[in-house]
């Protein structure tokens, strides 16, 4: 995977921003992955966990992130996957979590995403 994360940095309010990820397959067989998103929401759990520990909870899906439903990487080749973050949320809002590529058997990949909505 290149890059190994979808780091959008600061995105402009009201303007979707995309990152292209290159996926490589050194095997002799096409690999198809189903793609999903896991959202991370920071939480101190009522002040019981100091924020320095970056605690929070995970939930399936994130309406701020768009990924394809699946991607096929050809044998001995590569392909690209576009990940888009919406800029239509609150100023200062952080979008973070993981993009999951579920492949055949135990051939699964995970990459982080991060964006903050700015001016």
Local confidence pLDDT in tens for the 119 residues of the chain? 777 888 888 888 888 899 999 999 999 999 999 999 999 988 878 888 887 777 888 999 999 899 999 999 999 999 999 999 987 677 888 889 999 999 988 889 999 999 988 76
Q: What's the confidence (pLDDT) of residue 34?
A: 97
Q: What's the confidence (pLDDT) of residue 119?
A: 62
Q: What's the confidence (pLDDT) of residue 29?
A: 94
Phi/psi zone of residue 52: left (φ > 0), alpha (ψ -120 to 50 degrees), beta? alpha
Q: What's the confidence (pLDDT) of residue 10?
A: 82
Domain range enclosing 9: 5-118
Q: What's the confidence (pLDDT) of residue 25?
A: 93
Please, what's the b/e burial string for 9-45 (b: 16 or more CB within 10 A of its CB; e: otherwise)? eebeeeeebebebebebeeeeebebebbbbbbeeeee
pTM: 0.85
Q: What's the confidence (pLDDT) of residue 18?
A: 93
Instruction: Give me the number of domains the chain comprises.
Output: 1
CATH of the domain at 102: 2.60.40.1710
């Amino acid at each position: 995977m290149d890059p190994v994360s979808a780091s959008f940095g600061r995105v402009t309010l009201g303007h979707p921003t995309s990152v292209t990820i290159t996926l490589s397959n050194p095997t002799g067989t096409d690999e198809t992955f189903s793609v999903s998103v896991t959202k991370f929401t920071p939480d101190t759990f009522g002040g019981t966990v100091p924020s320095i520990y970056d605690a929070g909870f995970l939930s399936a899906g994130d309406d701020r992130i768009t990924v394809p439903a699946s991607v096929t990487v050809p044998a001995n080749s590569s392909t690209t996957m576009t990940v888009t973050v919406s800029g239509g949320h609150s100023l200062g809002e952080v979008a973070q979590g993981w993009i999951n590529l579920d492949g055949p058997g135990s051939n699964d990949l995970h990459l982080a995403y991060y964006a903050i909505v700015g001016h």
